[in-house]
Amino acid sequence: MSSNQEVVKRRWVVKIGSSLITNNGTGLDHAAISEWVRQLVGLREKGIEVVLVSSGAVAEGVARLGLKSRPRQVHLQQAAAAVGQMGLVQTYETRFQQFGVHTAQVLLTHDDLANRRRYLNARSTLTGLVDMGVVPVINENDTVATAELCFGDNDTLGALVANLLGADTLVILTDQRGLHREDPRAVPDAPLISEAMAADPALLKMAGGSGSLGRGGMRTKITAARLAARSGACTIIVNGRESDVLLRLVQGESIGTRLLPEKQPVAARKQWLAGQLKVKGSLTVDTGAERVLRESGRSLLPVGVIAVNGRFDRGEVVACVNESGQEVARGLVNYNSTEAGQLVRQPSRMIESLLGYAGDPEMIHRDNLVLNDH
């Protein structure tokens, strides 16, 4: 299988930059948005789950408010974002509805993904939307984000969403053909890098500066590709103005720059979980659950838990230990310690009656669980 074919996967995160969305500051480019929506629907028809990360709220707000340039004051930027987000979401909703596809607005801040509980909540919500056939339209919550809590650009946000959802591919649509060995604005015939490893340190040296309306230049796209690669996602940087660009990519055509991860998605995510997480408590599992975890790699269900140790919140890391106290695995728990204590030895069908709400059927989902190597 060629590398071009390898990027055709099940779940894509597609990020569209400000310079494309707003046609360089003259308001939303409705014709271009219609084209991208048509292609995104085409990806869905080919069995690919689609998540959209769209810039443009601040730039659209600037245009709507008749401002000459992006405001420097944070509160005015936030005001422009609030105005612009209305137009941005309305446009996407109208275009997707023409194909009978529902959309959902999701605004995130850095704190939403840094906090484990909110991370799991965001993941559950986005996964639920995708499972229902809804296309999430994600943007940074510029209206409330402060300088120390913002992503800095939507390239980074796109990469973190790819991590969050275990996406196979992150597509960054920009106004450049891809990554060149030299800045193509200064050297028009600079050769295009068609494929490289995301972790290659030489790439950052080749990256150029940022654009006028968006906050992310080619350097941020390289950094985003590195972030996406940690959960095994391939990143494609490509000109969003190319005809049928997304549909050509899904057919395996070699356009743009592909930045590949070193590991496959599942292996990379497990490695990331194993290296990043500190244990906050533990769940003692019975022999049956231990066997299922070790041999089948399945999720940990409440019925297999016989004791809860320590205090922890939803989304924090707990160890799964056997009856001899030996750690079997660790992962992100779906319930806090009090709730987990109520669910000990209980079948998943009893969760709603015991807790008063219908939570996740798993104590720890297999995607958020990593086995010990022994």
Q: Which residue positions form the known binding site for substrate?
A: 55, 142, 154
Label residue 122 left, alpha or beta by phi (over 0 means left) and psi (-120 to 50 means alpha).
Answer: alpha
66 burial (CB, 10 Å; 0-12 / 13-18 / 19+) is exposed
Q: Are 26 and 63 in contact (CB under 8 A)?
A: yes
Enumerate residues 6+ apart whose C-beta is below 8 A from 135.
40, 44, 50, 51, 52, 96, 101, 102, 103, 104, 129
Specify the length of the chain in residues. Answer: 374
Q: Read off the tokens for 217.
A: 């230049």
Strand order in the sheet with 327-332: 305-309, 279-285, 317-321, 327-332, 369-371
- In order of 6, 76, 210, 262, the CA distances from 215 in angstroms are 30, 16, 6, 28
Binding residues: 15, 55, 142, 154, 174-175
Percent helix, strand and coil across the chain, each rounded to 5? 40, 20, 40
Beta sheet of 11-16, edge-to-edge order? 103-108, 135-140, 49-54, 11-16, 169-174, 234-239, 257-260, 195-197
Q: What's the farthest any 2 CA atoms get from each other in the chain?
A: 69
Give bridge partners of residue 369 from the DSSP assignment: 331
Indicate the annotated binding residues for ATP.
15, 174-175
Tokens describing residue 367: 């995607």
Which amino acid makes up residue 374?
A: H
